[in-house]
Structure 1
Amino acid sequence: MSGALTAVRRRFDIFGVVVLGGVTAVGGGSIRDTLTGNTPPLFLQDETYLWVAILGAVLAFAFGERLARFERTLSFFDTIGLALFAASGALLGVRLGLGPLGVTFVGMLSGVGGGIIRDLLAAQVPEVMYRNDQLYATAAALGAVTVYLIHPRLPDLETQLIAAAVVALVRWVSRRGWVKLPVRKLPG
């Protein structure tokens, strides 16, 4: 929905809304699958992902004004999606035998890749590059690191749930303003 609402705000036509909504929904997983050799990407193997994305985009197009009023609720679901995608992507990296940086990268990119693609297609600087007041990619990376650290000791489901909880907690703490990333400011 975040991609579709971005498209509605930028005055895309219905096709543009569906495309941006769809790319946002499956973008991170597609990048992950391509990097890890899982081809074709999962959304092409199981079109349910695409149908859900198309339905969400059509709803955003039809009810965009009303949905925009529920920004906090949408943000909550976005955080849940980020948490689950980051954790599952990191777990895939662990299963493939990647090292700590590989697991972190694959997990983080699984979570934030769709948003980065969304922002680039909408001619915006990707939010994950400058939102120091709301940790997003950092939260996904910390969740992925959690997977790498605890996977050897816990079953997959517990590992994913704990890592997803870490992502959600980091997002929640940052949204409260308790944690921020430093920003370097140059003169002039």
Structure 2
Amino acid sequence: MIGGILAALVLGLQTHPAAGSQATCLPVDHQRNASRAWSDFEFSTEIEGGPMWLAGRGCYARAGEAAREYLARGPLLSVREQAITQLHLGRNLAFAGDEAAAAQAVASARRSDLRTDGEIALDWNAYVEGLYGFLVKDRELLDARLESLRRSTHQGDAMNAGNLARLAACFERSYMEAQTASECVAAPAP
């Protein structure tokens, strides 16, 4: 399960269709989504209506709406699940161009709990804080968290450092541009 989640996250970081207009994006069935199990709702790219399914079609604002409504109407989530959903909510809002709302969602993704045995070893809060730094244009915060992740020996931190490096390389651009422009790919750290 963890490997599948990591693969879905990596795929999500690599492919970003252009944002679709809300008129071309299907409305979200909040009641149906609320009855879905968290892992199915959060990570399925096959079942209509979840955030990854919507984001895969460029419907980032609708993906954000789906996540927000799931947090309000769906099952109560663990700290880990809520943090992941908040982070993805923030990323989708940022892709949709609402970086202020994205920053608020990302700020809520920090975790106070300890990692469970089944989780990938990574410094979750360093990644979240670095992403927040990009969204609020706090270069010092982004750079500090990027360096922290680069010093880590964990594979998950290396992946997240790569994403923060991409944001750092195009710091003055929008989130969508920093994630999609080929010139934003940063050279690997020494």
Computing the radius of gyration from Cα coordinates, the structure with the larger value is 1
Instruction: Using CA pairs under 8 Å that are at least 6 residues apart, name the structure with larger relative contact order, 1 or 2.
Output: 1
The structure with more helix, counted as a fraction of residues: 1
TM-score between both structures, scaled by the size of structure 1? 0.27
TM-score between both structures, scaled by the size of structure 2? 0.27
